[in-house]
Amino acid sequence: MLALFLLPGCSFVPTYQRPDVPMAQSWAGAAQAPLADTVPVRSGWWRAYGDPNLDTLVERSLKHNFSLASAVASVDQARANAERSGAALYPSLSLGGSVERGGKKSGGSSSHGQSLFAEASYEIDFWGRNSANANAASLLARASEFDRDTVALTLTASVTDTYFQIQGLRRRLVLAQAISDAAAHILQLLLAQRDAGVATELQVQQQRNALATFQAAVPVLQQQLEQSTHLLATLTGTAPEQFAAGEAPLNSIPIPQARPDIPASLLETRPDIRSKEAALQSANFSVGAARAAFFPSIVLTADGGFSSTSLSRLLSSPFGTIASTLAAPILDGGALRGQLHANQAAVAKGVADYRQTVVTALQDVEDALSAARQLQLAETADQAAADAARKAVTLAEAQYKLGTVDFLTVLDTERTLYQAEDTLAQVRLQRLQASVGLFRAFGGGEGVTDMPAAPASRDNPSNPTLS
C-alpha cells in the first residue's frame, strides 16, 4: 500500500491550447488616427474627463451599486465552492465517542461501556480525478472574478454615459426654452402688428403653431432628463428622491481618446474574454475528472481509540485498525460515459463562446474607433452650421425690423438655428459617449484580475496546460 501511495499519479486532463481566433495586426479604424492626443487606458480612466462630480459619482457606484455587490458575493461563493472541492485532496480526520448502558427487565445484571475513537481516511488521487475537480472549481472562481470585473467596467461606463446624457439634456432643454421664449416674444410682436393692421392673421396663426411646437419639446426633454437622473441614482445605489447630479457645461467637458493597442492585447485586458477562457479551462479539467472516474479508487482508512466497561479503565484498553479499499465501477448504466460526453460538449461550447466573445470584442473596438472618428468630423460640420444659422438669425431680425424681409424669413431662420444648436448638442454628447465606449472596449483597466496561464498540476507544475 505504501508503494502505491508513493507511485507518481496519472492524469487524464487533456492538453489545453488557446483557441485560434481571427486576429489582425492593427485596427482598421486607427490606421489614420494620430496618437499624439491619445491617453492610455488605465484604472480610473474616467478621470481623464476632468470632472470632480463625475469622479465622485463613479466612486460611489463602485461602493454602493447592488448589481456589483451581487457580483462580488458570487465571487465569494465560487471561491468557497473551490475550497470545498479542494478538500478531497487532503486526508479527513474525525473524533468521536460513545456511552452505552443496558439492563434486563427482570432484575438481571446490567451492562455499560464507554469508548473514545478517531477515524482517518485518505483517497489516493492516483488518476488525478480529485486534482482535476479542484482545478476546475478554482478556475470557475477565477471566471467569476472576471465576471465581477466586467460588471464593474460596465457600471463605470454606464455611470459616465448617463452623467453626460444628463448634461446633454440640460443643454438641449435650455435651447428649447430659449427658442420657445423667443417665439412667444415674436408672437406678441405680431399681435401688436395685427392690431395696427401691419401683420395678417395668417402670420399670427403660423407663429402660434411654431410656438406650440417649441413648447411641446420642453416637457419631452424634461421627462428624459428626469429619467436619466433617476437612472444615475439607481446606478450609484441611491434612491431617486434623494439624488441630484452635478452640473457641467457640455462644451467644457474635454473628449479624451483612448490609445489603441494591438488587437491581441484584448485577450489580456478584456475581463469578458478572460472569463470565457477561464471557464473553458475549467471545462477541460472536468473532462479529465470524468475520464479518471472510469478507473478504480483507492481509499486508505485507519481508526483507533479506547474502549472499556469502566470509565476508570478507559485508557488501558486501546484498539486500532488499518485498512485499504479498492472500488472500481463495473456497471453504471452509462452514467460515467454520459458524464464524459457532457463534459466534452461543454468544452466544445466553451471554445465557441470564447471565439464569439473575442470577435465581438474586436467589433466593439472597431465600432468605437469609427464612431470617435466620424463623430468628430460631424461635430466640426455641425459647429459651422450652427455658427452660420446664428448669424442668419441676427441678420433676419434686423432686416425684419427695417421691413426688408417678411416674417416667414425670420421664422425659418429661428427654426434653423434651434435645429442646428440642438443637433450640435446631440453630436457633442455622442462624441463623449463614443470616447467612453472606446475606454470600455479596450477593457477599461479597472479591476482587471491578474491570472496565470493555468493552475498548477502534477503533469506540469510550472506551466500546466489542458486540451
Q: What is the mean pLDDT of residues 428-437?
A: 94
Amino acid at 359: V
* pLDDT over 50 at 150, yes or no: yes
Domains delineated in the chain? 31-90+116-294+329-441 (1.20.1600.10)
How sure is the predictor about 115, in pLDDT bands with cuts at 50, 70 and 90? confident
* Measured distance CA(151)–CA(154) in Å, rounded: 5
* Measured distance CA(406)–CA(206) in Å, rounded: 13
Q: What is the DSSP letter of 264?
A: G
* pLDDT over 70 at 35, yes or no: no
Q: What is the mean pLDDT of residues 448-452?
A: 46
Within 13 Å, how many C-alpha atoms sit on residue 211's CB side?
15
Q: What is the mean pLDDT of residues 352-374?
A: 93
pLDDT the model gives residue 457: 45
Q: Report which secondary-structure segment, H or E, holds 70.
A: helix 66-86
**Minimal CA–CA distance to 217: which of 267, 191, 242, 181?**
181
* Measured distance CA(234)–CA(255) in Å, rounded: 25
Beta-strand relationship, 318-327 and 297-308: antiparallel
Q: What is the mean pLDDT of residues 116-135?
A: 85
Helix axes 407-441, 201-235, angle to 10 degrees: 20
Amino acid at 61: S
CB 180 within 8 A of CB 211: yes
pLDDT the model gives residue 74: 93
More confident residue, 164 or 122: 164
Q: What is the mean pLDDT of residues 270-281?
A: 94
pLDDT the model gives residue 270: 92
